Amino acid sequence: MLDIKFIRQNAELVAEKLKKKKFDFDVAAFKALDEQRKQADAESQSLLAERKQASKKIGELVKQGIPVDEAKQTVNETLAKIEEQLNALKQKASQAAAALEALMMSIPNIPDDEVPEGNDEEANVEVLTWGEPRQFDFEVKDHVDVGEAVGGLDFDLASKITGSRFAVMQGSMARLHRALTQFMLDTHINEHGYSEVYVPFMVNADSLRGTGQLPKFEEDLFKIEGEQNYYLIPTAEVPVTNIARDTIFEEKELGDGLRFVCHTPCFRSEAGSYGRDTRGMIRQHQFEKVELVKMVKPEQATAELESLTENAEAILQKLNLPYRKVILCGGDLGFSAQRTYDLEVWLPGQQKYREISSCSNFGDYQARRMLARWRNPATGKPELLNTINGSGLAVGRTLVAVLENYQTADGGVGIPEVLRPYMGGAAQL
In percent, how much of the chain has pLDDT > 90? Answer: 83
Q: What is the mean pLDDT of residues 115-135?
A: 97
In the chain, how long is the greatest CA-to-CA distance? 112
Number of Cβ atoms within 10 Å of the Cβ of 407 = 26
Q: Is 207 labelled as part of a ligand binding site?
A: no
Q: What is the mean pLDDT of residues 34-44?
A: 86
What confidence category does residue 298 fall into, taking pLDDT thresholds of 50, 70 and 90? very high
The DSSP secondary structure of 190-243, one letter per residue, reads: HTT-PEE----SEE-HHHHHHHT-TTTTGGGS-EE-SSS-EEE-SSTHHHHHGG
The alpha carbon of 274 is separated from its chain's Cα centroid by a whole number of angstroms, namely 22
Rounded-to-integer distance, Cα 247 and Cα 384, Å: 10
Relative to beta strand 286-296, strand 258-267 is: antiparallel
Range from 215-219, 258-262, 269-273, 360-364 carrying the lowest mean pLDDT? 269-273
Q: Give the separation between CA 331 and CA 124, rounded to whole angstroms.
A: 9
Task: Kindly report, residue by residue over 368-377, the tens digit of the pLDDT.
Answer: 999 999 999 9
- Whether the per-residue pLDDT at 312 is higher than 70: the answer is yes
Is 164 marked as binding a ligand?
A: no
pLDDT surpassing 90 at residue 54: no
Query: Is residue 196 annotated as involved in ligand binding?
Result: no
Q: What angle do CA 194, 199, 203 make, to 5 degrees?
A: 135
pLDDT of residue 127: 97
Q: Whole-angstrom Cα distance, residue 184 to residue 418?
A: 10
**Rounded to the nearest 5 degrees, what angle is found at the Cα of 304, between the Cα atoms of 298 and 308?**
145
d(CA 91, CA 299): 42
Q: Return the pLDDT at 157.
A: 97
What's the confidence (pLDDT) of residue 78?
Answer: 78
Give the pLDDT score at 85.
82
Whether the pLDDT of residue 359 is over 80: the answer is yes
Burial string for 116-137 (b: 16+ CB within 10 Å, else e) reads: bebeeeeebeeeeeebeeeeee
pLDDT in tens, 197-248: 999 999 999 999 999 999 999 999 999 998 899 999 999 999 999 999 999 9
Is pLDDT of 43 > 90?
no
Sequence length of the chain is 429
Which residue intervals of the chain bear CATH 3.30.930.10? 121-423
Q: Is 50 annotated as a binding residue?
A: no
Q: What is the DSSP string of 43-82?
A: HHHHHHHHHHHHTTHHHHHHHTT--HHHHHHHHHHHHHHH
pLDDT at 422: 98
Q: Which residue ranges does the chain devote to CATH 1.10.287?
A: 26-106
Residue 389 annotated as part of some ligand binding site: yes
- DSSP for 357-404? EEEEE-TTHHHHHHTEEEEETTTTEEEE-EEEEEEEEEHHHHHHHHHH
172 is in an annotated binding site: no
The answer to whether the annotation marks 237 as part of a ligand binding site is yes
pLDDT, residue 273, reads: 72
The 3-class secondary structure across 159-204, one letter per residue, is: HHHCCCCCCEECHHHHHHHHHHHHHHHHHHHHCCCCEECCCCCEEC
Name the residue among 55, 85, 53 with its Cα closest to residue 71: 55
CA–chain centroid gap for 276, Å, is 22
Tell me the CATH class for 26-106: mainly alpha
Average pLDDT estimate for 337-348: 98
The domain 121-423 is classified under which CATH number: 3.40.50.300, 3.30.930.10, 2.60.40.10, 3.40.50.1220? 3.30.930.10
Read off the pLDDT of each residue in 11-35 and give the average, rounded to a whole number: 96
pLDDT at 50 over 80: no
The annotation status of 94 as a binding-site residue, yes or no, is: no
Residue 116, pLDDT score: 97
Question: In this predicted model, what pLDDT tens digit does every residue of 63-122 receive, in sequence order?
Answer: 566 666 776 677 677 777 878 888 888 888 888 889 999 999 999 999 999 999 999 999
Confirm or deny that 306 is annotated as ligand binding. no
SS3 273: coil
Q: What is the average pLDDT across 159-177? A: 97
Task: State the Cα–Cα distance between residues 46 and 386, nearest whole angstrom.
Answer: 40
Q: Residue 299 — pLDDT band, cuts 50, 70, 90?
A: very high
**According to the annotation, is 386 in a ligand binding site?**
no
Q: What is the pLDDT of residue 409?
A: 96
pLDDT of residue 271: 72
Residue 278 confidence class, pLDDT cut points 50, 70, 90: confident
Tell me: pLDDT of 53 over 80: no
User: Coil, strand or helix: which one is 263?
Assistant: strand
**Cα 75 from Cα 52, distance rounded (Å):** 11
The CA-CA-CA angle for residues 250, 254, 256, to 5°, reads 140
The answer to whether 357 is a known ligand-binding residue is: yes
Rg (CA), the chain: 28
- What's at 162, amino acid-wise? T
109 among annotated binding-site residues: no
Cross-strand bridge partners of residue 262: 291
DSSP state of 261: E
pTM above 0.85, yes or no: yes
